[in-house]
Structure 1
């Protein structure tokens, strides 16, 4: 007769353990929900190093129920954007894992899919304010229980960037950091800064632009605004509408891919302050002395290192290029060319670097360059990968003009300078280039007397 109470106790304990270990998932909706439209509802899912893959649903009214939520640790809120299909963002697990790998923090995924999942984009925009009010109330509760606003980082994607801004404005810029990943442009462009993300919303606001001509925001809205590939068409993304939905979202979503790569340690993208993307490509903005030993800003998670070089409310626009596929980061070189030809020549250069196992390519073709006798032509080259211990260099000159006779470019000196490694430049002297014919040679350390 003692067996029944014993089994009951075991079942109760097992049930409690099951409940304690239950993992909460991001709300998964479908097209039927977005067609009908969803009303705003915000769920906060906590991830820490002790529950890195198992979300814990946080209470909006009582923090004491969650032992894993240490208010004295830094907290990062991840806020998604518009969800026209209702499905969870594919990048959520990756960003959570990478954040926890970098620091021992609380990661809170802000699930406002009920409100973001709506075919009516204007309704989703309206719901951003309600989501911000909900999140503001939660952070106020955190603050009342001892949390420091300076230790809060908000990462907002598209509409989520503006939600972050609304929250930050309520706290009068005391939030530590807001990262905006391609802040939404439609319904926010031209609005007063109180109605969108702006530099005053946090102690440090860093922003990435990848789709300024469509779904993203064109103008700077942070302390530092990174423009990848000029901020518009991203390499590797479809160029025509015949590619389907990828044509509409690829550029916009590239912002998340670039940020994730900035955290995974594979490589980093150095960005250069400049007045325009054209001037950047022309190599007119490569002076990084103002940033001391840190050099020009690096895009992504580590951008906060450059906070002290920035002045509110003056935004700094910085530019960088990427590859079409991961790893996205490129390697920046200065290429200086001095020719012997009597007449000026116009054209393009393709440069390749080799070591024993790898090849890196830079096509300097954004515009036609002019080469004049005894005049140094300075070109900015972005190689698709970083080559250590360069053993060979190849060079090709082209004009793109198939109707004229082939030309020859007599180079007095070619100099290659890595813009990040503090190493001696590589040179080659007296090279004869025939148009469209690649020539390969071994570089030598530059003779300082020739500078």
Structure 2
């Protein structure tokens, strides 16, 4: 992460060296694409150094087409020659096919990273689409300021291709869905503003530096498509080593795990390099949370798990468990299927995920009611639960990560996620592990001679996705530390 931040800083310093000459040349014009100025909204406090986009001959954007008929070696089209109708006709577009564009961000290249191909494969598995990977790796290298400027040209090239396909192939604006990661999200926005009525843009952790807090003409915004859905996965300021945008910029803005510091992204260079290889491993070390957005989206395409997210006004409300209901604006699915729940107004959504793939979780609210038993003092320890349903059985769920006092007559509530849909809950296996406190010698369990127990009256499991509640009664049964109490009777 520190290496990536240093790279951005150095990139900006490289730009300052030529700042004087850059400011003299405030507008550039390119055939078929129009003119681009680095004044007005593109010069601001958020953008202290402005540059104009490089020429198309420098960026060398390529469009790579994939279909179910040709999933691996589809034809490519040079964006500099979109006026050549013969080249466009070679693409064999079918009028009825929805068309997806995938646009990468800073430093990525289809020849180096695998996520573009992975997403393409999942899309073709799901539907009979035209999938176009936009390769602008000739223009996304340092300095970062130049790469941000180049997105405007790439966006114009994408829009030109979309408009040509509508004119020559009979496709409608609503047939197009642009999916962009990081700088690619804003690239999609630049394309959308040139295509009235564009169907959808999915912004995957839109880049924050040089875009956070800027005018909407500079960044992705809801006016760029009929539906703009956004996944925020690294929404921290750059000074805190975050590369994503925090502000709400779409019709539907999703904040998995509060939108930053994704679980499982703690720095672990040896594991990350071993798991992902040298090139992608370095990216994981540098920007793990930033990359999670496209992993979430890719998984969402074909998983039966819905990535259900809850409408919520703020991060604080979600942390306080105030947003575990689908009432009001209604819940929505993060990722590919967000379009199934279009809100009447712009909405923020929050959800939790697992710390590794598969990331999608089914959410449970567990309530444990302890009985009085034969003691008035509590025990200290960790609770665990296995949930058994008519569809599957969950893995063992640790309910509290740090030891807590389990006092007679008290009620304890936990919000947890499981990666499998258990269906209708039929039984639970409750267990706990006694943890000694050095300050409470009366409750020590030296050599296992004391046999500490807790008394359980009831366990309730509420499945949030289905809004289904099951109450299981233990009727004051006791369970000893490191033993299992199976509860099958409903109350």
- Alignment partners' CA distance in 2, 1:420 and 1:63: 49
- Alignment partners' CA distance in 2, 1:370 and 1:197: 49
User: Is 1:127 equivalent to 2:150 in the alignment?
Assistant: yes
- Aligned match of 1:82 in 73, 84, 106? 106
Q: CA deviation at 1:54?
A: 1.7
User: Is 1:48 equivalent to 2:67 in the alignment?
Assistant: yes
The equivalent residue for 1:352 is: 386
User: Is 1:300 equivalent to 2:335 in the alignment?
Assistant: yes
- Alignment partners' CA distance in 2, 1:370 and 1:52: 57
Change (3 A) 1:367 1:204: farther
Q: CA deviation at 1:51?
A: 1.4
The equivalent residue for 1:177 is: 200
- Aligned match of 1:99 in 118, 123, 135? 123
Change (3 A) 1:304 1:367: farther
TM-score normalised by structure 1 residue count: 0.78
The equivalent residue for 1:13 is: none
Change (3 A) 1:216 1:367: farther
The equivalent residue for 1:320 is: 351
- Aligned match of 1:363 in 386, 398, 408? 398
Q: CA deviation at 1:170?
A: 2.5
The equivalent residue for 1:337 is: 368
- Aligned match of 2:82 in 40, 57, 60? 60
- Aligned match of 1:221 in 214, 238, 249? 249
User: Is 1:159 equivalent to 2:183 in the alignment?
Assistant: yes
Q: CA deviation at 1:143?
A: 2.8
- Alignment partners' CA distance in 2, 1:394 and 1:288: 29
- Alignment partners' CA distance in 2, 1:223 and 1:344: 49
Change (3 A) 1:240 1:100: closer
The equivalent residue for 2:486 is: 442
User: Is 1:265 equivalent to 2:309 in the alignment?
Assistant: no
Q: Where do 5+ consecutive residues of structure 2 fail to align?
A: 1-10, 15-53, 237-241, 273-281, 444-451
The equivalent residue for 1:310 is: 344
Any idea what SS the aligned residue of 1:205 has? strand
Q: CA deviation at 1:426?
A: 4.3
- Alignment partners' CA distance in 1, 2:459 and 2:427: 15
- Alignment partners' CA distance in 2, 1:193 and 1:431: 61
User: Is 1:394 equivalent to 2:417 in the alignment?
Assistant: no
Q: CA deviation at 1:354?
A: 5.3
Q: CA deviation at 1:190?
A: 1.6
The equivalent residue for 1:15 is: none
Q: Where do 5+ consecutive residues of structure 1 fail to align?
A: 1-33
Change (3 A) 1:366 1:164: farther
Q: Is the 8 A contact 1:413 1:431 kept in 2?
A: no
The equivalent residue for 1:231 is: 259
The Cα offsets for residues 327-349 of structure 1, whole Å up to 9 and x where unpaired, read as: 11222111123344678999864
Equivalenced residues, count: 402
RMSD: 3.4
Q: CA deviation at 1:431?
A: 4.6
Q: Is the 8 A contact 2:386 2:393 kept in 1?
A: no
- Alignment partners' CA distance in 1, 2:472 and 2:135: 55
Q: Is the 8 A contact 1:392 1:440 kept in 2?
A: no
Change (3 A) 1:334 1:41: same
Q: CA deviation at 1:443?
A: 2.2
The Cα offsets for residues 345-383 of structure 1, whole Å up to 9 and x where unpaired, read as: 998643333589955233344799898876754432223
